[in-house]
Amino acid sequence: MTMTAPVGLPPALVGTGDLFQLLRDGRPRTRGELSTLSSLARSTITTRVDALLASGLLAPVGEAASTGGRPPTRFALNRHDRVVLAIDLGASHATVAVSDLSGEVLGERTVACDIADGPEIVLDRVADIGTELLADLGRTVPDVAGVGIGVPGPVEHATGRPANPPIMPGWHDVDVPERLGRRFSGPVLVDNDVNLMALGEYVTSWQSSRHLLLVKVATGIGAGIVTDGRLLRGALGSAGDLGHVQVAGAPADVVCRCGNIGCLEAVAAGPAIAATLRAKGLDVEGSQGIVDAVAAGEVAALQAVREAGRDLGSVLATCVNLLNPSVIVIGGKLSEAGEYLLAGVREVVYQRSLPLATNDLRIVSTSAGSRGGILGASAMVIDAVLAPRAVDAYVASRTA
């Protein structure tokens, strides 16, 4: 405020980047609206808007709605100014996508890719695919505002280095941002894949309820936690690791691959359900097999999935009491098994959780589906790239 502010009055916005925050939602606004919203003089708004227009981040969006006189010009975030590269690494496959600045996916490709091949091979591979996608879309490397990547293991988010990931041999403490930074411009942000799924679900469907818990049920079980609109990562980035939590009612004879007994993953994840069904004579293979069996109406499969939902619900009831979320989203391959998993979860959660915490609690299936990770990665980058300081820097670099 050029400290013009005699101090004491509404703190007001200051920099160009701050003003830009009012336009991040993508809704067009007129100069007049911006002036009242920011309590800045119209002349100042004009200066800022001009700078943003020159940078390309802002674009006029037609004019409209005259109230009797000259219709005001409306401006909005120019989603096409730059693009974001979003990468979702799984255990055996990788998805690479390019999105615009609103988070809309412009192009996407999924390939088989073994994470155990190590960081060099995998990262070069996805970088290549990203470069191809960019070319297909008629974009160049300098158009990239930033890169977001999700990996199947804990990550020290501040440095972007995976931390002792169990299923990612060779990735411990690898400087992922450095390696991807060689190929693309902008910041490279790394996070756990389930965290990003949670973020993706949050930004696409649940922005209004700021406390969300996403549970991914597939070969393993993990959770991503959004609290107060922010990802909860924990001290070492391993928050949300629900797979090896002990299930209250679990049979004592189920030994998990982690060596403990009664782990959630050992009773409710894909392999456990498949094993149960095979014991009953049903020939199912993998999580997809379970989903197919459920879709085919196999009673044993319905039962098993529902029972897995109950076990999951038993753990989630604890999570509800601990975190008091307003939404639980069930994702992962097994969430495709219709309402049966959900039914089991609801059954136990609503029974075991405190009425207070369940009052406004919704338990739903994922709406982003398999694209949650990509959407979350994109959202993470956009959040960083459109932050006030980043915008200031960008505007400066483009006008200098």
Partner DNA sequence: CAGGTTTTGTCGGCCGTCAAGCAAAAGTCA
Partner DNA sequence: TGACTTTTGCTTGACGGCCGACAAAACCTG
Question: By CB under 8 A, what part of segment 286-345 binds a copy of itself?
Answer: 314-315, 317-319, 321-326
Looking at 82-90, 229-237, 270-278, 369-377, which segment touches a copy of itself (CB under 8 A)? Answer: 229-237
* 31 is a site residue for DNA (CB under 7 A): yes
Residue closer to DNA by CB (options 41, 255) is 41
- x/- binding map, residues 189-228, to a copy of itself, per CB under 8 A? --------------------xxx-----------x-x-xx
Cα–Cα dist 179/114, whole Å: 18
Among 71, 169, 234, 251, binds a copy of itself (CB under 8 A): 234
Query: Residue 357 binds what, of a copy of itself, DNA, none (CB under 5 to 8 Å, by partner type)?
Result: a copy of itself
- Render the burial of 273-296: b for 16+ CB within 10 Å, e for the rest: bbebbeeeebebeebebbbbbbee
Which residues neighbour 399 within 8 Å (Cβ) at sequence distance 6 or greater?
51, 54, 55
* 116 is a site residue for a copy of itself (CB under 8 A): no
Query: Nearest-CA neighbor of 215 among 359, 376, 335, 93?
Result: 335
* 21 is a site residue for DNA (CB under 7 A): no
Classify residue 235 by burial, with Cβ atoms within 10 Å: 0-12, 13-18, 19+. Answer: exposed
Looking at 28-36, 103-111, 333-341, 356-364, which segment touches a copy of itself (CB under 8 A)? Answer: 356-364
Cα–Cα dist 61/308, whole Å: 50
Query: Residue 169 binds what, of DNA, a copy of itself, none (CB under 5 to 8 Å, by partner type)?
Result: none
> Per the structure block, which two tokens stand in for 342?
């959900």
* 349 is a site residue for a copy of itself (CB under 8 A): no
Looking at 43-51, 156-164, 256-264, 298-306, which segment touches DNA (CB under 7 A)? Answer: 43-51
* 396 is a site residue for DNA (CB under 7 A): no
Among 26, 37, 61, 72, binds DNA (CB under 7 A): 72
Q: What angle do CA 309, 251, 332 make, to 5 degrees?
A: 30
Query: Residue 54 binds what, of a copy of itself, DNA, none (CB under 5 to 8 Å, by partner type)?
Result: none
Among 10, 67, 228, 235, binds DNA (CB under 7 A): 67
| Ordered DSSP codes for 101-120 | TTS-EEEEEEEE--GGG-HH
Among 32, 142, 234, 251, binds DNA (CB under 7 A): 32
> Per the structure block, which two tokens stand in for 169?
């041999």
* 400 is a site residue for DNA (CB under 7 A): no
Query: Residue 314 binds what, of DNA, a copy of itself, none (CB under 5 to 8 Å, by partner type)?
Result: a copy of itself
User: Are residues 379 and 231 in contact, defined by beta-carbon separation less than 8 angstroms?
Assistant: no
* 397 is a site residue for DNA (CB under 7 A): no
* 1 is a site residue for DNA (CB under 7 A): yes
Query: Nearest-CA neighbor of 205 among 75, 114, 90, 331?
Result: 331
Residue closer to a copy of itself by CB (options 184, 206) is 206
Among 214, 357, 368, 374, binds a copy of itself (CB under 8 A): 357
User: Are residues 309 and 341 in contact, defined by beta-carbon separation less than 8 angstroms?
Assistant: yes
DSSP 353: S
* 44 is a site residue for DNA (CB under 7 A): yes
* 4 is a site residue for a copy of itself (CB under 8 A): yes
Query: Nearest-CA neighbor of 374 among 178, 188, 131, 109?
Result: 109
* 260 is a site residue for a copy of itself (CB under 8 A): yes
* 239 is a site residue for a copy of itself (CB under 8 A): yes
Query: Nearest-CA neighbor of 363 among 214, 217, 224?
Result: 214
Cα–Cα dist 130/3, whole Å: 45
Count of CB atoms within 10 A of residue 234's CB?
Answer: 13
Residue closer to a copy of itself by CB (options 339, 360) is 360
Residue closer to DNA by CB (options 28, 240) is 28
User: Are residues 17 and 38 in contact, defined by beta-carbon separation less than 8 angstroms?
Assistant: no
Q: How many residues bind to a copy of itself according to rule CB under 8 A?
A: 71
> Per the structure block, which two tokens stand in for 341?
């998993």
At 231, which helix (H) or strand (E)? Answer: strand 230-231
Residue labelled with tokens 């956009």: 382
Query: Residue 118 binds what, of DNA, a copy of itself, none (CB under 5 to 8 Å, by partner type)?
Result: none
> Per the structure block, which two tokens stand in for 336?
């495709």
Cα–Cα dist 289/207, whole Å: 34
* 12 is a site residue for DNA (CB under 7 A): yes
In the complex, the residues that contact DNA under the rule CB under 7 A are 1-4, 6-7, 12, 14, 30-32, 40-44, 46-48, 63, 66-73
